[in-house]
Amino acid sequence: MLLTLAALAVTGAPVVTAAPEGAWYQREAAIMGTRIAVELWAKTPAEGDATIDAVMKEMQRVDMLMSHYKPESQLSRINAHAGAGPVKVDRELFDLIALSLEYSRLTDGAFDITYASVGYLYDYRKHLRPDEAQIEAHLAAVDWRSLELDPAQSTVRFARPGMRIDLGGFAKGYAVDRSIALLVARGIEHASVSAGGDTRILGDRFGRPWIVGIRHPDDPDRVILRIPLEDTALSTSGDYERYFDADGVRYHHIIDPRTGHSASKVRSATIIAATATQTDGLSKTAFVLGPEQALEVIARIPGVDAVFVGPDGKVYYSPGLEPPTPADGRP
Ligand code: ADP
Ligand code: MG
């Protein structure tokens, strides 16, 4: 069934248009605590190099603004001081935080940047997790409605004690969109930019689509689905990205804002939509709400498709992607 979808999607002999003068250039870097990969078509090596430099610089700029690892970032300033009173931040960060609240609304609270109020108690590298009493003590601070934003002053305030925010589930998609906008402004027409699980594709590969694979949750080398893409974004979230296993339970980096525990209603979720900010903002939903409810949520948003892998390996598709069943029993 999966193969059928992949095969169907690329059916029809592609019209391969002749590539103009130029070549593909690619580079990888470690920024935002993740792997950044850029590939683009440029006319000359100098243009290719300079353009990729500009993308990496933009990624670093967004990271400086929004990282919670960097104590000097504006995001860290919010976490340090917004409990005591309004903290003024750059318009760009303010707007992204305001947009994150839209995603909280759209996802019935599954996406919630205040998850960090309990999320920071986990350390996946050191295999540390909070006990029930610690979760209980911090859970009341997880509440996107208690994030007070003043657009006139561009300030952020926490209305509850112990609140923290984290943009780890949103900033990479945003940085990818910013990078694509930068490429378009420079006249680039064919590119792929990824930051961790968030990817956006610009144009095609001269008559052929870009092919993005979704991996098996337990086997990084096994691709369960190949999706052909042009001019679109795709984010995959998985419980295999940052995790540790203890007593038969997987503790991983996507947190259910209602319980403070890792959200485990799916193993992986892939969202396809126009922008990476959208796909990043929606890729956590199915972990928290489960596949059926998540499909209902995305059905309310035009132009969004999804593929989820359930705990038992069952694959769920949004109607736009579902492989058609053979008509009237014919092969
Ligand atoms: P990636 O970093 O590979 O793009 P995801 O898009 O799956 O990964 O985002 C996972 C990150 O989202 C976590 O590391 C954490 O920073 C953040 N996060 C975890 N739970 C939530 C949640 N319920 N709402 C919003 N963000 C979350
Ligand atoms: Mg992401």
| DSSP of 241-262 | SSEEEETTEEEES-B-TTTSSB
pLDDT at residue 18 tops 80: no
pLDDT per residue over 212-227, tens digit each?
999 999 999 999 999 9
209, two tokens: 């689509």
DSSP helix/strand/coil, 75: helix
pLDDT at residue 12 tops 50: no
238 lines ligand 1 (CB under 6 A): no
257 lines ligand 1 (CB under 6 A): yes
In a domain, 134, yes or no: yes
270 lines ligand 1 (CB under 6 A): no
DSSP helix/strand/coil, 114: helix
The pLDDT > 70 percentage for the chain reads 92
In a domain, 149, yes or no: yes
For 280-308, what is the mean pLDDT?
A: 98
pLDDT per residue over 37-89, tens digit each?
999 999 999 999 999 999 999 999 999 999 988 999 999 999 999 999 999 99
For residue 120, the CA-to-ligand 1 centroid distance in Å is: 12
Question: Alpha-carbon distance 254 to 260, whole Å?
Answer: 10
Task: Starting from the CA of residue 266, give the closest ligand.
Answer: 1
In a domain, 96, yes or no: yes
In a domain, 158, yes or no: yes
Helix H or strand E segment including 111: none
Distance from chain centroid for Cα 124: 19
pTM: 0.93
117 lines ligand 1 (CB under 6 A): no
pLDDT per residue over 76-95, tens digit each?
999 999 999 999 999 999 99
Tally of domains in the chain: 1
For residue 172, the CA-to-ligand 1 centroid distance in Å is: 10
Q: Give the Cβ contact number of residue 32 at 10 Å.
A: 21
Q: Which of 228, 226, 194 is nearest to 213 (CA)?
A: 226
Question: Alpha-carbon distance 243 to 250, whole Å?
Answer: 7
DSSP helix/strand/coil, 23: strand
E runs forming strands in the chain = 23-31, 34-42, 87-88, 147-150, 155-158, 191-195, 198-202, 210-216, 219-229, 233-238, 243-246, 249-252, 268-273, 305-309, 315-317
Atom of ligand 1 nearest to the CA of 242: 14
For residue 274, the CA-to-ligand 2 centroid distance in Å is: 15
Question: Alpha-carbon distance 38 to 199, whole Å?
Answer: 10
Atom of ligand 1 nearest to the CA of 172: 4
Residue 220 is predicted with a pLDDT of 95
Residue 14 is predicted with a pLDDT of 53
239 lines ligand 1 (CB under 6 A): no
For 202-214, what is the mean pLDDT?
A: 96
Mean of the per-residue pLDDT values of the chain: 93
Dihedral sign, Cα of residue 41, residue 44, residue 47, residue 50 = positive
The residue contributing the CA closest to ligand 1 atom 9 is: 169
Dihedral sign, Cα of residue 137, residue 138, residue 139, residue 141 = positive
For 122-130, what is the mean pLDDT?
A: 97
Domain housing 100: 71-169
Task: Starting from the CA of residue 33, give the closest ligand.
Answer: 1
Q: How confident is the model at residue 20 (pLDDT cuts 50, 70, 90)?
A: confident
Which residue has 């917004």 as its token pair?
Answer: 82
Residue 1 is predicted with a pLDDT of 28
Q: How confident is the model at residue 117 (pLDDT cuts 50, 70, 90)?
A: very high
In a domain, 226, yes or no: no
Q: Give the Cβ contact number of residue 92 at 10 Å.
A: 16
In a domain, 321, yes or no: no
Task: Starting from the CA of residue 284, give the closest ligand.
Answer: 1
Question: Alpha-carbon distance 275 to 233, whole Å?
Answer: 5
User: Helices then strands (H, E): number in the chain?
Assistant: 10, 15
254 lines ligand 1 (CB under 6 A): yes
In a domain, 145, yes or no: yes
pLDDT per residue over 246-283, tens digit each?
999 999 999 999 999 999 999 999 999 999 999 999 99
252 lines ligand 1 (CB under 6 A): no
Residue 324 is predicted with a pLDDT of 58
In a domain, 151, yes or no: yes
pLDDT at residue 7 tops 80: no
For residue 42, the CA-to-ligand 1 centroid distance in Å is: 33
For residue 329, the CA-to-ligand 1 centroid distance in Å is: 43
Distance from chain centroid for Cα 159: 27
DSSP helix/strand/coil, 308: strand
111 lines ligand 1 (CB under 6 A): yes
CATH of the domain at 91: 1.10.3980.10
Q: Residues with Cβ < 8 Å from 202, sequence gap 6 or more?
A: 40, 180, 183, 184, 188, 189, 190, 191, 192, 193, 231
The residue contributing the CA closest to ligand 1 atom 10 is: 169
168 lines ligand 1 (CB under 6 A): yes
Which residue has 């979760």 as its token pair?
Answer: 135
For 189-216, what is the mean pLDDT?
A: 96
The pLDDT > 90 percentage for the chain reads 89
Q: How confident is the model at residue 98 (pLDDT cuts 50, 70, 90)?
A: very high
Residue 326 is predicted with a pLDDT of 57
For 91-120, what is the mean pLDDT?
A: 98
For 114-128, what is the mean pLDDT?
A: 98
For 186-214, what is the mean pLDDT?
A: 97
Confirm if 206 and 213 have CB atoms less than 8 A apart.
Answer: no
For 134-149, what is the mean pLDDT?
A: 98
